[in-house]
């Protein structure tokens, strides 16, 4: 009787309308964020929560001031501004900022936003997997395994690592796009481009890590690429399209790094070797279901199980399994990370970031292989999958109950943010700037000279104005962090120099004025910023137009048939 019911239930899953699956995803999403973000109207304070809340509040302030695509986050550093919007795209923060615009508090906006991101993670995972497998059962299984994966939940609960959480949301698109090109559906190269661009806008470090994965995947598929050279051509197309899509952030980032030296180029506050742990430690964390670098018991068990049954899985899944294991080893201290301390790879900061690859690779293989492993016993694979999901959901709830109640604050508490938190690394401050000393000592326009009179100073969003009388020429330090794109003009009989980095307060902006007049100082931006924005905008609109037209042609063709 049970066997018959299981078979019937298994057969009914593909017939479920997509709306029912979305409702299921919403329910699971609500459960998975309830303890850290909803319970008691409090938010769990992760390692990076304040930084990302500051980003959202800064974007909200910019939109409210009519600056819809800001480059400088003027809310940061008590109003001194931080170039996080150049180096760390705000594109996926707009839903949270718009919630602020319609009147929700920052804490409440962030809660709804995290619920939305979690829901979309399930939806994206489902459709990405379905585009390759064309199986609703497998796609549903993958979406749940991936969305509830321990490493992603640890990001949500313990680390508050919004950039990585967003990266995990869009990562399945990039993987599906890569598989499509290499495995014969290369004309859909734009899927890989869309996934990679979304990944870049989410989290630059995750993009770098996935690029390493792409290299490994392509190396394993050299025979196919040599035989089907047109796929290499489409990989190049995908690369070029991706660059055009992200050039809005890519070129301004390069421009700033060339213009001045920043902390990210000079100070290494983390190194890979000391932040790595042993295989035993990672396995212990996974099996005990604890910690911020919790890979999860399911991944460990799945790796062992898949290795035992490796002869039954496809070549592609063997490749993904191998890459998952390789990146797991890369995350450990058994790998000689010290060899890369003075290279771009050190910007990854923590080797356990490689767990994003381990997570998506192993959950993908497990979802795609379960029915093969239990060949001719479809109901048995369904039972195993159901039990795995139930145990996984139980472990998620246990993890949240243990980790999610340690540091919590009420929603209203976040109305007093001052923008001080720039993230642990403060990577995008000018090199050599003593941030803490500067924000404590400088609260307004400063000059050490007695030969100048300043009055009627005013600050409106990113504009600073003041009247002055100076004789002889005098240097004025402005309470604004120095980046390329700031300009100053004077009206009246006086003269003013170009904006430069302060010699007295490293990292701030200064101008030299003489005579008498009114100074206006603001962030104008650069030509490269404007051109790159236009290029990316045209690229995205063109791609959308192409896909809409393609859909119309397909629709007309089907109707004619």
pLDDT in tens, 30-42: 998 998 899 888 8
Please state, in angstroms and rounded to a whole number, the distance separating the CA atoms of residues 452 and 512. 11
Please state, in angstroms and rounded to a whole number, the distance separating the CA atoms of residues 101 and 527. 29
Same domain membership, residue 279 and residue 253: no
Alpha helices in 13-105 (DSSP H): 18-33, 49-64, 84-87, 94-101
SS3 501: strand
**Total length of the chain:** 561
Residue pointed to by tokens 């504009």:
463
Same domain membership, residue 343 and residue 333: yes
Same domain membership, residue 247 and residue 227: yes
H/E segment holding residue 454: strand 452-460
pLDDT attached to residue 441: 87
Same domain membership, residue 534 and residue 480: no
Does residue 153 form part of some domain?
Answer: no
Domain boundary, last residue among 373, 395, 427: 373
pLDDT attached to residue 184: 83
Assigned token pair, 471: 């004789």
Same domain membership, residue 238 and residue 333: no
Same domain membership, residue 262 and residue 166: yes
Q: Return the DSSP state at 479.
A: E
| Contact yes or no for 100/109 (Cβ under 8 A) | yes
Ranges of residues in the chain whose predicted pLDDT is under 50? 2, 6
Please state, in angstroms and rounded to a whole number, the distance separating the CA atoms of residues 366 and 368. 5
Does residue 485 form part of some domain?
Answer: yes
Q: Omega into 525 within 30° of 0, i.e. cis?
A: no
Does residue 410 form part of some domain?
Answer: no
Assigned token pair, 307: 């290795």
Same domain membership, residue 295 and residue 217: no
Does residue 315 form part of some domain?
Answer: yes
Please state, in angstroms and rounded to a whole number, the distance separating the CA atoms of residues 544 and 130. 21
pLDDT attached to residue 349: 78
Task: Say what the pTM is.
Answer: 0.92
Same domain membership, residue 183 and residue 244: yes
Domain boundary, last residue among 349, 373, 397: 373
Same domain membership, residue 215 and residue 204: yes
Residue 304: domain span? 269-373
Please state, in angstroms and rounded to a whole number, the distance separating the CA atoms of residues 328 and 355. 7
Same domain membership, residue 489 and residue 471: yes
What are the respective helix, strand and coil percentages of the chain, to the nearest 5? 65, 10, 20
Please report the DSSP string for 256-286 in residue order: HHHHS-BHHHH-----HHHH-B-HHHHHHHH
Does residue 314 form part of some domain?
Answer: yes
Vertex 12, ends 9 and 13: CA angle to 5°? 95
Domain boundary, last residue among 373, 400, 421: 373
Same domain membership, residue 537 and residue 560: yes
When divided into structural domains, the chain yields a total of: 3
Does residue 171 form part of some domain?
Answer: yes
pLDDT attached to residue 2: 46
Name the β-bridge partners of 467.
Answer: 455, 518
End-to-end CA distance of the chain: 45
Same domain membership, residue 255 and residue 172: yes
Does residue 454 form part of some domain?
Answer: yes
Does residue 119 form part of some domain?
Answer: no
């Amino acid at each position: 009787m049970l066997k018959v019911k299981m078979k019937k239930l298994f057969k009914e899953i593909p017939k479920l309308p997509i709306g029912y699956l979305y409702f299921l995803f919403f329910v699971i999403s609500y459960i998975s964020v309830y303890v850290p973000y909803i319970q008691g109207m409090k938010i769990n304070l992760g390692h990076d929560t304040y930084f990302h809340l500051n980003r959202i509040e800064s974007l909200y302030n910019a939109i409210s001031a009519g600056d819809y695509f800001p480059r400088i986050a003027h809310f940061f550093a008590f109003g001194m501004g931080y170039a996080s919007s150049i180096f760390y795209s705000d594109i996926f923060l707009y839903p949270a900022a718009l919630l602020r615009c319609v009147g929700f508090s920052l804490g409440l906006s962030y809660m709804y936003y995290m619920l939305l991101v979690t829901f979309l993670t399930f939806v994206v995972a489902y459709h990405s997997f379905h585009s390759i497998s064309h199986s609703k059962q497998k796609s549903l299984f993958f979406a749940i395994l991936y969305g509830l994966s321990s490493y992603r939940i640890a990001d949500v609960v313990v680390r508050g690592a919004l950039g990585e959480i967003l990266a995990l949301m869009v990562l399945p698109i990039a993987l599906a796009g890569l598989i499509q090109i290499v495995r014969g559906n290369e004309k859909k190269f734009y899927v890989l481009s869309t996934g990679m661009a979304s990944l870049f806008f989410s989290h630059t470090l995750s993009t770098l890590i996935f690029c390493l994965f792409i290299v490994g995947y392509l190396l394993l598929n050299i025979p196919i690429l040599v035989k089907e050279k047109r796929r290499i051509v489409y990989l190049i197309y995908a690369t070029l399209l991706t660059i055009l899509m992200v050039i809005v952030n890519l070129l301004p980032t390069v421009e700033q790094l060339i213009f001045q030296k920043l902390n990210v180029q000079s100070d290494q506050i983390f190194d890979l070797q000391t932040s790595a742990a042993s295989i035993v430690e990672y396995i212990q964390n996974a099996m005990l279901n604890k910690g911020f670098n919790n890979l999860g018991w399911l991944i460990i068990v799945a790796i062992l199980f898949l290795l035992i049954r490796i002869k039954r899985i496809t070549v592609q899944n063997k490749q993904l399994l191998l890459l998952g294991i390789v990146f797991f080893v890369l995350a450990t201290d058994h790998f000689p990370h010290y060899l890369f301390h003075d290279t771009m790879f050190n910007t990854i900061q923590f080797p356990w970031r490689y767990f994003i690859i381990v997570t998506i690779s192993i959950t993908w293989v497990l979802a795609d292989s379960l029915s093969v492993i239990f060949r001719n016993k479809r109901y048995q694979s369904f039972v195993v999958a159901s039990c795995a999901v139930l145990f996984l959901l139980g472990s998620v709830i246990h993890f949240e109950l243990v980790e999610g109640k340690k540091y919590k604050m009420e929603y209203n508490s976040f109305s007093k943010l001052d923008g001080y938190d720039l993230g642990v690394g403060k990577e995008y401050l000018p090199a050599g700037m003593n941030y803490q000393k500067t924000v404590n000592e400088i609260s307004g326009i400063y000059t050490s000279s007695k030969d100048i009179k300043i009055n009627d100073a005013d600050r409106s969003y990113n504009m600073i104005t003041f009247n002055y009388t100076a004789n002889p020429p005098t240097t004025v330090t402005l309470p604004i962090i120095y980046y390329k794109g700031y300009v100053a003009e004077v009206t009246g009989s006086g003269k003013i120099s170009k904006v430069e980095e302060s010699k007295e307060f490293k990292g701030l902006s200064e101008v030299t004025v003489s005579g008498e007049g009114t100074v206006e100082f603001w962030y104008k931006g650069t030509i490269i910023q404007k051109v790159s924005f236009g290029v990316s905008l045209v690229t995205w609109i063109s791609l959308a137009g192409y896909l809409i037209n393609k859909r119309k042609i397909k629709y007309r063709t089907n109707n004619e048939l």
